[in-house]
Every structure is written in C-alpha cells, then in structure tokens.
Amino acid sequence: MCPADSPIADHLAVRPTSGSTTDQLRRNNLSKILTLIHREGALSRADLTRLTSLNRSTVGAIAAELAALGFVDERPPLDFRAGRPSPVVHPNERTVAVAVNPEVDAVHVGIVALGGVVLARSSVGIGPEASASEVVRIAAAEAHALLAELPGHRVFGAGIAVPGQVRIGDGQVREASHMGWFEEPVAAMFEAATGFPTFAANAAILAMRAESVFGAGKGVDNFVYVIGGASGIGGGMVSGGKIVTGAAGYAGEIGHTFVRSSGASCFCGAHGCLEAEVTQARLLQLVNLPPSQIAELGPALAASTEPAVRAAVAEDVALVAIAIRNAVNLFNPSVVVLAGFLAALMEGSGDDASAILPAEAVLAARESVRVERARFGADQLLIGAAELVFAGVLGDPSGYASSRA
Ligand SMILES: [Zn+2]
C-alpha cells in the first residue's frame, strides 16, 4: 500500500517506539503513562502504578520526566488520610493542538488541550461557495487570534475535520462535495499558512474518535456511530476495538446507505440515501430556527405540537431507523451512538434513543444493543480533530517535545 493511503486507524493508533534498549523502554513508559493521563484525566502515582503494573519508582521517574517535558503537572492530593501522600499527575493544559472544522455554513476553530479539553473556540460564518484557500485563510487567522489569548501555551500541531473523504497520509481532501471541494491539499495549505504540522481526516470518523476516547463509546469495543451535521450524515464503526476503515480509509458512509426506493437524488450521484432524505436544514426550517441556533433544535422539536412537525419528525425517525437496522444487522454492535442533529431528532421525538431500534433488526443482535445520544455536543469535532495531533505526541512524548522545543 502506498504510504499516502495509510488508513486513519493507523494514524490514530498510539504506537510507542519498538525495541528493548533502555532508552526505548523509557520512551515506551512515557507513552504508556501519558496516554493514560490523556484519556482518564488526573491520576495519582499510586493509581498509575496499579494501572500500568510498573513499579513505584519507575512511575515516579516517568511522571517527573513528563512534568519536566511540560506534558503533566504533579500536585499534592486534595485529601489523604494516612501515610505518605501520592502526588496526583494532571494533564498540562498548556500542551495544545489547533482544531479546525469547516462546515457548509461556518468554519469552527478551537484550541484543545491534552486531556481533550477545549480551551477556546470560535466560529466564522462562510458562504456556500467558500473556496478551500479562503477557508484556510479564515481558520489560520482565527487560530492565531485564539492563541494570542493563551500566552505560554505550546502548540504541537493542527488537526482538520473535513466533511468528506480525506486521504489521511497527506491530508488531501479527495472530495467534500457539499463544500464543492475536489482534490484540495487542505492540510498542506494550513501548514503553509501557520507553520504548524497539520493533519486532516474525515469529520465523522474524528467525532467518533472523540466519543470513543472520552464519551459514550469509552471502553466499548463494538459500536456504531452516526452523526448528522449541516453537510449531511456520516458515521463509522469500531469493531473488536478497531476502527473499521476499509481498504483506504473511506468506510463508514452510513449517510449514503439506501433508505427510500423513491427517494431524492443525493450529492453522491445515487438516490434515496439517508442524508438526502433526512436533513438538518429541513428540521431547522420546521421550527423556524436559523443554523446558528442548532443547539435549540432538540428542545424546539420536542416542544412543538404542530401536526406537520410531529409527522415530519416521525417520518425522519423511521428513515434513520432503517439505517440503524442495517448497521445493527451488519456489525452487531453493543452500542449505537447518535450525534449532532440526529441526537436532536431523537430528543424531538420525545422517545428515548433506544426507541429508534427497529423491531425488524435481527433479534439476537437487537437484544444486546443499546442506542444512546452522544455525550458531546458541538465540541466533539474539535476534540476529534485534536486527536490527529495527540496520537503522535502520545506515541513518543520525548521525541515530540524535542521536535517542538
Ligand atoms: Zn448518497
């Protein structure tokens, strides 16, 4: 396989350096402990000793080195009863990545700290014809403005979550049809504009990554993730603990699965696709909300007693249920996570998310699956985009620190 076609799962996997020399073992231990702190939040040295099976003095030395490198802060515990206190190791929130998510109606930019914490965010409205170079220029200016408010923070790179197909190896957008982008080297353009090492990948996969590391999919080895946004519906699957990527990283296009035989034509060239039938724009229009008030969509749909709104919500839920049925039958997940406007649609239906699980799904797969709304709201794409950067940092903390000294 050509390196440029390396799938996203390879990129996002935290890969400590291999080998068994003393230096390599030390670097592996730095990776192991920083990965735990990133995913679980602050942990005491005693917790780290228990979770890693490393001995106490090794954990102490590794935590001290991570603190010296600027990745963690060690603080005394807030309360302890007896014996020697075990210092608590916190992710250092001054270690950050720039996250960018272009959408059809706005460019969202965030500064995300180690630990998946969004420190600052901004959104700039764009027109439907915005070119890739215009979006990159806006995002770079926003990133610099946000960073100017965060003095002393170290930027380790930038991640871009694109609503379309992206070649992870070089961040080339192959096709983002809603944006009107074809073969745009977006990661290279942002890197040239900012000087930050930049990665790009499919937005839905990155949102799924955020939910998998920090949210409703945490610790779940088999789940299906479906997210709806202004640009359509995307998704992904984790099977056996691994992201299902397909041959070149383009798997998971749940929005382009077929749900209606006489359906509308879709951007992809087919007809009857889920994302051509169920749209955020139509749901917003039903309750007279502008795109900027997307956060109000769920409550507004739920509060409406208009027969036309109730009928439209029921129709959309039924169409989403067909896609969920297909995914449950194909992947036998233990959890299905609905995110973005699909979570708002379920809230608007007045039913628990599990009500969308259709009786037509195969019984054996149906009885062991639960459907949940995503834990993260709008921040999931920023947190996921930052993971493109943090995967490399976590794999080799000391190597990355020296490269960004
Ligand atoms: Zn389609």
Is residue 198 assigned to a domain?
A: yes
- Quote the pLDDT of residue 2: 32
DSSP, collapsed to helix, strand or coil, labels residue 109 as strand
Integer-rounded Cα radius of gyration of the chain: 22
In terms of domains, do 122 and 31 share one?
no
The pLDDT score that the predictor gives to residue 47 is 93
**Separation of CA 14 and ligand 1 centre (Å):** 33
Q: Are residues 337 and 324 in the same domain?
A: yes
Q: 111 with 99: CB under 8 angstroms?
A: yes
Q: For residue 136, is it within any domain? A: yes
| CA of residue 253 to ligand 1 center, whole Å | 9
- Residue 4, pLDDT score: 36
**Gap from CA of 59 to ligand 1 centroid (Å):** 51
- In 3D space, the residue among 216, 215, 213, 214 whose CA is nearest the CA of residue 241 turns out to be 213
367 and 272 in a common domain: yes
Measured in angstroms, how far is the CA atom of residue 224 from the centroid of ligand 1? 19
Angle between helices 56-69 and 45-52 (to 10 degrees): 120
Give residue 215 CA to ligand 1 midpoint distance, Å. Answer: 28
Q: Are residues 178 and 77 in the same domain?
A: no
Contact 225, 207 (CB under 8 A): yes
CA–centroid distance, 255 to ligand 1, in Å, is 7
Boundary-marking domain end, from 60, 91, 122 = 91
At residue 120, the pLDDT reads 97
How far, in Å, from the CA of 268 to the mean position of ligand 1? 4
Note down pLDDT in tens along the chain; length 405 residues.
333 334 676 777 777 766 668 888 999 999 999 999 999 999 999 999 999 999 999 999 999 999 999 999 999 887 666 566 788 999 999 999 999 999 988 899 999 999 999 999 999 989 888 999 999 999 999 999 999 999 999 999 999 999 988 988 899 999 998 899 999 999 999 999 999 999 999 998 899 999 988 988 888 999 999 999 988 999 999 999 888 878 777 788 899 999 999 999 998 899 999 999 999 999 999 999 988 788 899 999 999 999 999 999 999 999 999 999 999 999 999 999 999 999 999 999 988 777 777 667 777 777 789 898 888 877 899 999 999 999 999 999 998 888 766
Whether 212 is in a domain gets the answer no
Q: Are residues 170 and 101 in the same domain?
A: yes
Measure the CA angle with vertex 178, ends 228 and 348; round to 5°. 25
CA of 175 relative to ligand 1 center, distance in Å = 13
pLDDT in tens, 58-94: 999 999 999 999 999 999 887 666 566 788 999 999 9
Domain that holds residue 255: 218-373
Q: How far is the CA of 80 from the centre of ligand 1 (A)?
A: 57
Judgement on whether residues 122 and 164 belong to the same structural domain of the protein: yes
CA of 254 to the centre of ligand 1 (A): 9
Q: Please, is 122 exposed, middle or buried when counting C-beta atoms within 10 Å of its C-beta (0-12, 13-18, 19+)?
A: middle
Q: From the CA of 273, how far away is ligand 1's center (Å)? A: 5
| Burial class of residue 366, CB neighbours in 10 A (0-12, 13-18, 19+) | middle
CATH number at residue 70: 1.10.10.10
Question: Following DSSP, what letter does each residue of 285-306 receive, concatenated?
Answer: HHTT--GGGGGGHHHHHHH---
164, 234 Cβ separation under 8 angstroms: no
Distance 114 CA to ligand 1 centre (A): 36
Residues 336 and 247 reside in one and the same domain: yes
Task: Mark whether 223 and 325 lie in a shared domain.
Answer: yes
CA neighbor of 155 nearest in space, from 203, 109, 189 = 109
Report CA(264)–ligand 1 centroid distance (Å).
Answer: 10
Q: Give residue 405's pLDDT.
A: 60
What's the gap in Å between 265 CA and the centre of ligand 1?
8
Does the residue 387 lie in any domain?
yes
- Measured in Å, residue 297 CA sits from the centre of ligand 1 at 24
CA of 53 to the centre of ligand 1 (A): 48
Cα–ligand 1 centroid distance for 176 (angstroms): 12
Give me the pLDDT at residue 12, please: 76
> Cα separation of 319 and 279, whole Å?
11
CA distance 159 to 101: 9
Tell me: do 367 and 227 sit in the same domain: yes
Domain count, the chain: 3
Q: How far is the CA of 129 from the centre of ligand 1 (A)?
A: 20
Minimal CA–CA distance to 98: which of 55, 161, 181?
161
pLDDT of residue 82: 59
Do 195 and 230 fall within a single domain? no
Cα of 121 to ligand 1 centre, how many Å?
Answer: 31
CATH number of domain containing 155 = 3.30.420.40
Q: What pLDDT is stored for residue 83 in this prediction?
A: 64
Q: Are residues 154 and 285 in the same domain?
A: no
- Cα of 277 to ligand 1 centre, how many Å? 10
CA distance linking residue 145 with residue 148, whole number of Å: 5
For residue 213, being part of any structural domain is answered with no
Whether residues 192 and 317 fall in one domain? no
DSSP state letters, 333-398: -SEEEEEEHHHHHHHHHTS-GGGGS-TTS-HHHHTT-EEEE-S--TTHHHHHHHHHHHHHHHH-HH
